[in-house]
Each structure stands twice: as structure tokens, then as C-alpha cells.
Amino acid sequence: MNFVYTQTPLVQSRPYASKTGRTIHLKLENTQPSGSFKSRGLGNLVYHHHEQQQQQLDQAAKVAGEAPALPSRLHFLSSSGGNAGLAAAVAATTLGHRCTVVVPKLTKPRMRELIAQTGAEVVVHGDFWGDADRYLRETYLSGEDSAATTTADENKEKRIYCHPFDDQLVWDGYTSIIDELGQQLADHAYTQAFQTSPLGVAIEKPSAPVWPDAIICAVGGGGLYTGLVQGLLASAATDDPARPLPIMITAETDGASKLHQSLHAGHKVTLEAPSTVASSLAAFSVSDQAYAYASAAPTGAGAVKTVPVTVSDAEAVSACTVLLEKHGLVVEPACGAALAVLDRLDEVEATLANGKKLQNVVVIVCGGSAYVARDLLVN
């Protein structure tokens, strides 16, 4: 955890438990500084480069026997449908750096305003995220895929490219969700045992992370999914490798189902023109690492099985209105896609071997700042 993202609540939902007959926990990533889980991934990337610059200055000063020089402003460059750009802008400006965000035309005016309110520059280009990303690379990075140093003004300015989902630093940020989740579920288990045990009976707090049967997350480019799987595999390596890990259930809308199509095709699929109200899911394809994790055959207890599920736009929006009614939380349809999967858990169970039941389920409420309540009613 650092200055640009925070630990988020894990809430046991009685309304969803009543609806599904299962124990449902909501991991409220909508409470992050930018309003979405993207604060973890893009925040971690921005913070890494911020700290790296400071460490380099400190080391140079130590060698020279001088006081450390004041750090120069970095220039973070983000291409985004909205949430990643807002997260990058919040993190960069919080740490005193410059940020430019290129968004496609489909990005809502409210999101553009939120990004601009951080002090970041907003540029609108292209119909989809891929168009915005190409423009950013060609205009600001001279075609380079990674960080570039330019002399656009009299002072050297280091420009840092922030990929919205395909970067190890971004995945590392999302891995922190798993670190929190295992501990929070252990705390919940301890509290429940304490409340239901007879008086005078000693209750021991679990010493290891507690895992649900399944974790549901929405998939756009696959950054969140990749970070979650990475975290689970790391936990298995340091904890008990014989313990089964949760099943990952990925949620996409029908018009942006690139992971679902890829797994059925046996190779990574690129969509020509994603079509969905859940604009945050409208990437052309998932990252290579996301596809590699999802397509890997799980072997042994310390492996992660992935089950892809698609829902309609109407189901995603309806799930958002249910969350608003039951918990008073406003999220965008990309998050609604994950919540809509709660109505499909019987179908998911039917695909699992050995009659495995999904009794304890966590939904990553990924959030999103583009929508307000009236938008959900209009949709």
C-alpha cells in the first residue's frame, strides 16, 4: 500500500446471499481514490517510477557527497477508455507529476471532466481505446513502446508510458487485492466462529489465508484478472501447495467477449469492433499473459482454473441497478458484468468436475467513475 491506493472493505452481502443461497462477499474496489480498482495497478506503476527517480537522486548525491537534488517532474502518458486514465492522473498529480491522458470518443464527458479536474491534460482521439493508444504512442513516444526521454522543452522531461492493463507493475498492483482478501476472509471466519461458539470455548484465529470457492472479476484487457491469478499462485507457493485455490470466473459482455472467444478458439482472438455499453471492457484483445493464465490446464491443488462467462449488456446494467438498490453503490456496467454472473453460478457449477459447489464467492466490485445513478436508469 502507498499514497495512491488503499486497502478496501470486504463486505458480506445479505441481499445477495438471500438471492443466491450462497455466502457472497463484495470486495469494494469502487472505494479507491480514483473510484476503481485501477488505482492499484496504475497507482503502483506511477509510484514505482516516482520512487525510482528519488532513489537515483539519493544515490547520486551519496556518491558526490552532496545534498540530494530536487526531483524533476515526470510526465506520465496514459491511453484509456477512462478508468485507467483517471487512476494514472490521480496518482501522478498526487505525487506532483504531469499527466496526459488520451481517450477515445466513446469516453463519457463526465469521465473526461474528472480526469481534467486532477490537473491532467485530456486529449480525445479515435473511436476505440486502440485508436487512442496508437495516437499516444505516435505523438508522444515517437513509436516507442516503453518509457522515453525527450527534450520537448528547455528542461529534460522523462516521459513514462502507462499501459492500462499489459504491464508487470500494473499486475503487481492488483496482486495486493489477494494479499488483503486472504486476511480479510480469515478475519471474517474468526468473527463468525466467535459469534456462534458456546460461551467459554476458545476460538483460534486462522494462521493462513482463507480462500473462497470462487472469485468473480470482469475482464477488459485482462490486467485485473492477471494480477489476481498472479497473487493466488504466489500465495500457493509460500503457503500450503496442497490447498485448493479459488476458481476464477471471468465476466465479459457478449459484444466484448475476447477472452471467452479466445478460450473456445484455442488461440488469442482480436475483435474488430467491440460493441458494448460496458465501454471499459471494449479492448480489442486480452494481454498475452492473461490468455496464457486462462488457457493453462490446471494441474494439482496449487493451480487456478478459469471459467469464462458472458452476459448481455442488459444483464450488466440490471446488475448495476440491483447493487444500487441493495447496497446504495453506483458502479458502471463493466462492474455490472461481474455482478450479473451471480445469477449464473448454477451454470458454472455444472461445468465443474467432481460436483464441486461454489458456496463461498467473492465478487471484485471494480467500480468505475463514468456513471452516476441517472445513467443506469437511462440505460
Domains of the chain: 10-37+168-376 (3.40.50.1100), 39-147+155-161 (3.40.50.1100)
Task: Quote the pLDDT of residue 148.
Answer: 43
- Smallest CA-to-CA distance from 213 within 30, 355, 41, 329 is with 355
pLDDT of residue 212: 94
List helix spans (H) across the chain.
Answer: 14-20, 38-64, 83-94, 109-117, 129-140, 168-196, 223-238, 258-265, 288-295, 313-327, 333-340, 345-350, 373-378
- If you ran DSSP here, which 8-state letter would residue 217 be given? E
Question: Which residues of the chain carry a pLDDT beneath 50?
Answer: 1, 143-154
Per DSSP, 82 falls in state S
Question: HSE on the CB side for 34, CA within 13 Å?
Answer: 32
Q: Given this model, what pLDDT does residue 186 score? A: 87
Q: What is the pLDDT of residue 144?
A: 47
C-alpha span between 42 and 49 (Å, rounded)? 11
Please name the residue ranges forming H helices in 3-82: 14-20, 38-64
Pairing outcome for strands 247-253 and 214-218: parallel
Look-up: residue for cell 499501459?
A: 163
pLDDT for res 239: 73
